[in-house]
Amino acid sequence: MIMEKHELNPLTTVLIALIVAAIILGGFYTAGMEEALHFLENTTEALFPLVTHLLELTGVGIICFGSAVILTWFVKAKLKDPYKPSGAAPFFARYLTLGLEFLIGAEIIKTSILRTWEEFSLLLLVIASRGILGFINHLEGKWGRLEDNRSEV
C-alpha cells in the first residue's frame, strides 16, 4: 500500500498518542516517581553485573571456540601439505575480533557503573587492542590475497 506524502502512518499516530498519554500520566503520578526511580536503580544495580559477566563469558567462549576451530584447521592443512600456507590467520582474527566486541561491551557497562580510573584505563586498553587486531586482520587479508596470487603463478 503506497501512501501519499501528506498522510500519517497509523503506527506513527499510535506512537504519538502513546507518548502523549505517558507524558500526561507522568504528570499525574510524580509523587510515586521517586519510588519507581529507586526501584529502577536497584534493578539496574542487580542486573548490570550479571549482564557484564554474561558478555565476558560470551566473548571468552567465542575466542576459545575460534581458537579450537582454527587449530584443527591449521593441523589438517599442515598434515596435508606442510609447505603450503594454511590461510587460517584471517579467520582466527575474525573470531578474535568478535570476541573482543563482546568484551568491549562488558567493559563499557562496567565503566558506566563503577566510574573508576582503573576501569576506564582497562576499557581504553581493550578498545586499543580491538583496533590493532582489526588492522592486523586487514593486513592479513591483504597479504593472504597476495600469497594466493603468487602461488597460482
What value does the CA radius of gyration of the chain take, rounded to a whole number of Å? 25
Could you tell me the pTM of the whole model?
Answer: 0.59
Cα separation, 56 vs 143, whole angstroms? 31
Angle between helix 89-114 and 117-152 (nearest 10): 170
Per-residue pLDDT of the chain (153 residues; tens, 9 = 90+): 455 566 777 888 888 888 888 877 776 666 666 777 788 788 888 888 899 999 999 999 999 999 999 889 888 888 888 888 777 766 777 888 888 889 888 888 887 777 778 877 877 887 888 788 778 877 877 776 666 666 555
3-state secondary structure of 86: coil
What residue type is assigned to position 3 of the chain? M
Place of cell 593472504: 144
Q: Domain map of the chain by residue range?
A: 46-152
Q: Are 66 and 95 in contact (CB under 8 A)?
A: yes
